[in-house]
């Protein structure tokens, strides 16, 4: 296929030059009416914000330019089939799980997974078999899911319909996909990989290879997170065999808007063309710049990068400072105009991409240096590591879907069944899953995060500042 083409983008441009009368939605009529003050900024994008007319095809029944754009993407991402997503990776995860599980079906889900995976299981009424992970004793980062644990759980729950995991994790840890795929396939079930943070994988020899290339059956990627596509633009890649592709499409139709955004879809078409043409060179350039930055960082002795003994994504960097909590250093960086992906009590997560510039890296290094030059080891609060999470009991979401919920003070919730996922956000990995017993140790950890400026989803703050949570009425 000719990867220099961008059929959807080209069709939008042709439409723009041909259109002389606009009698269709959206109401801004390609920008003919819009807020005056914001118009100069929005105008170019509004002219592309069209709908299923002329030669612009239809995402839900593609036969023209969207079909071609998805075919081109499948070739570049080495998939048998690719679907464009306009509801983020979330929509692809929901459709993958809904198409795999009937109510009551069991599904193995790594506890590394983002809330969207657990939401998918909840909507499907599936029974989640949570797969635990360990924490690295030095860094406190999550270790990859153990293939032995998955093997053991699949022997125990041999009627499970799929295995779902996240690779790479938010902090860049890559899972043992090849072994896990082999184990899932021995049981005749698909391995679904949330590859939200790994759309750049496989494009350069210094990067981990793609989940699909290692045997995964479905990989859902947030093209918008690491590649040059607009927010909410993702792709779902499929290896045929164990996946009911028609059923995935059926659920995508149900989940995604019937008015998918053309700017978002065109940005996917263009991100694919970029990766097929200039991507490798840009990866090589930025990988080199980031490697040099990492070396320079060693001259700031109060800063340490966290690693685990597993393959890691070089575009993620997790730092700990001897002088500041994660929140304090993030605040200092913000004062200097530097915004990062995540901070918690202990650490900071930086996300690089093909768009990272040398100027930004130099400025980051200088700012970090300034912050640490005159600093001194502070009385930092005693750091708490996230508690180790066990491989839990099966969670039958079909049974608790309609259970009544009660909002109670945290102190009354200990030992009760949580009616919500409780998690730090970001990263959005539930520490207590809906249906699990609320444990004091995990609540203490989440409270520490909340009190030191972090955002905790699932805690409902009252007017007096105290926190309540939803539990299931027993
Ligand atoms: C690991 C992981 N999976 C899935 C998602 C959801 O992706 P999206 O925002 O593209 O819907 C996120 C979002 O942060 C994530 O971090």
What would the DSSP string read from start to end of 238-276?
E-SSSS-HHHHHHHHHHHS-SS--HHHHHHHHHHHHHII
CA-194 nearest atom, ligand 1 = 3
Q: In this structure, what token pair is assigned to residue 455?
A: 């955002």
Tens digit of each residue's pLDDT (9 = 90 or more) over 419-458: 999 998 888 889 999 999 999 999 998 998 888 888 899 9
Write the Ramachandran bin of 87: left for phi over 0, alpha for psi from -120 to 50, otherwise beta. alpha
CB of 234 within 6 A of ligand 1: the answer is yes
Contact 307, 336 (CB under 8 A): no
CB of 453 within 6 A of ligand 1: the answer is no
Tell me, in angstroms, the distance from the centre of ligand 1 to residue 30's CA: 30
CB of 351 within 6 A of ligand 1: the answer is no
Tens digit of each residue's pLDDT (9 = 90 or more) over 420-429: 999 988 888 8
Alpha-carbon distances of 171 from 142, 208, 291, 304, 319, rounded to whole Å: 8, 14, 17, 15, 11
pLDDT given for residue 387 in this prediction: 67
Average pLDDT of span 265-278: 98
- 406 Cβ contact partners less than 8 Å away, ≥ 6 residues apart: 419, 470, 471, 472, 473
CB of 166 within 6 A of ligand 1: the answer is yes
Both ends of the chain: CA-CA distance in Å? Answer: 59
d(CA 262, CA 55): 12
- Burial string for 196-207 (b: 16+ CB within 10 Å, else e) reads bbbbbbbbbeeb
- 99 Cβ contact partners less than 8 Å away, ≥ 6 residues apart: 243, 244, 247, 248, 250, 251
CB of 89 within 6 A of ligand 1: the answer is yes
CB of 169 within 6 A of ligand 1: the answer is no
CB of 167 within 6 A of ligand 1: the answer is no
CB of 222 within 6 A of ligand 1: the answer is yes
CB of 223 within 6 A of ligand 1: the answer is no
pLDDT given for residue 389 in this prediction: 66
pLDDT given for residue 392 in this prediction: 67
CA-234 nearest atom, ligand 1 = 10
Tell me, in angstroms, the distance from the centre of ligand 1 to residue 190's CA: 20
Provide the mean pLDDT of the chain: 95
Q: What is the 3-state secondary structure (H, E, C) of 391-448?
A: CCCCEEHHHHCCCCEEEEEHHHHCCCEECCCEEECCCCCCCECCCCECCHHHHHHHHH
Tens digit of each residue's pLDDT (9 = 90 or more) over 142-196: 999 999 999 999 999 999 999 999 999 999 999 999 999 999 999 999 999 999 9
Which residue of 196, 232, 257 sits with most ligand 1 atoms within 8 Å of its CB, as the best mutation to test the pocket? 196
pLDDT given for residue 439 in this prediction: 92
Q: In this structure, what token pair is assigned to residue 170?
A: 């938010």
d(CA 279, CA 286): 10
Tens digit of each residue's pLDDT (9 = 90 or more) over 380-393: 655 566 666 666 68
Which residue of 84, 89, 97, 256 sits with most ligand 1 atoms within 8 Å of its CB, as the best mutation to test the pocket? 89
- 469 Cβ contact partners less than 8 Å away, ≥ 6 residues apart: 407, 408, 410, 413, 418, 419, 420, 422, 438, 458, 459, 460
Name the percent of the chain lying above pLDDT 70: 96
Q: Is the pLDDT of residue 96 over 90?
A: yes
Tens digit of each residue's pLDDT (9 = 90 or more) over 360-415: 999 999 999 999 997 666 666 555 666 666 666 899 999 887 789 999 999 999 99
Which residue of 85, 86, 88, 145 sits with most ligand 1 atoms within 8 Å of its CB, as the best mutation to test the pocket? 88
CB of 88 within 6 A of ligand 1: the answer is yes
């Amino acid at each position: 296929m000719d990867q220099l083409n961008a059929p959807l983008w080209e069709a939008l441009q042709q439409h723009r030059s041909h259109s002389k009368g606009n009698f269709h939605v959206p109401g801004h009529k390609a920008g003919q009416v819009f807020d005056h003050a914001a118009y100069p900024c929005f105008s170019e994008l509004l002219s592309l914000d069209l709908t299923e007319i002329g030669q612009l095809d239809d995402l839900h029944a593609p036969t023209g330019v969207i079909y071609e754009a998805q075919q081109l993407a499948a070739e570049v991402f080495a998939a048998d089939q690719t679907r464009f997503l306009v509801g983020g990776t979330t929509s692809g995860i929901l459709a993958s799980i809904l198409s795999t599980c009937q109510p009551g079906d069991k599904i193995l889900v790594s506890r590394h997974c983002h809330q969207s995976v657990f939401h998918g299981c909840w909507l499907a009424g599936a029974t989640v078999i949570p797969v635990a992970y360990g924490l690295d004793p030095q860094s406190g980062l999550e270790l990859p899911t153990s293939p032995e644990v998955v093997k053991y759980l699949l022997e125990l729950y041999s009627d499970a319909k799929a295995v779902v995991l996240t690779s790479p994790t938010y902090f860049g840890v890559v899972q043992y996909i090849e072994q896990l795929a082999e184990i899932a396939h021995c049981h005749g079930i698909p391995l679904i990989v949330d590859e939200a943070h790994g759309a750049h994988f496989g494009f350069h020899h210094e990067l981990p290879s793609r989940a699909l290339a290692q045997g995964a059956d479905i990989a859902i990627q947030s093209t918008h997170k690491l590649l040059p596509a607009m927010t909410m633009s993702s792709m779902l890649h499929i290896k045929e065999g164990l996946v009911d592709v028609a059923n995935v499409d059926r659920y995508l139709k149900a989940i995604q808007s019937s008015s998918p955004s053309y700017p978002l879809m065109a940005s996917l078409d263009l991100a694919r063309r970029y990766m097929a043409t200039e991507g490798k060179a840009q990866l090589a350039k930025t990988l080199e710049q980031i490697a040099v930055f990492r070396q320079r960082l060693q001259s700031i002795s109060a800063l340490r990068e966290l690693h685990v003994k597993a393959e890691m994504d070089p575009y993620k960097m997790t730092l700990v400072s001897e002088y500041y909590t994660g929140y304090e250093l993030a605040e200092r960086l913000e004062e200097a105009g530097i915004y990062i992906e995540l901070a918690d009590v202990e650490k900071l997560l930086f996300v690089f991409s093909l768009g990272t510039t040398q100027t930004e890296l130099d400025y980051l290094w200088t700012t970090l240096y300034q912050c640490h030059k005159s600093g001194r080891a502070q009385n930092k609060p005693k750091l708490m590591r996230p508690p180790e999470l066990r491989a839990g009991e099966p969670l039958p979401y079909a049974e608790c879907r309609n259970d009544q919920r009660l909002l109670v003070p945290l102190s009354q919730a200990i030992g009760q069944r949580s009616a919500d996922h409780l998690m730090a956000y970001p990263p959005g990995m539930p520490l207590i899953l809906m249906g699990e017993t609320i444990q004091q140790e995990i609540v203490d950890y989440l409270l520490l995060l909340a009190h030191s400026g972090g955002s905790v989803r699932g805690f409902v703050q009252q007017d007096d500042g105290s926190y309540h949570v939803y539990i299931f009425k027993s």
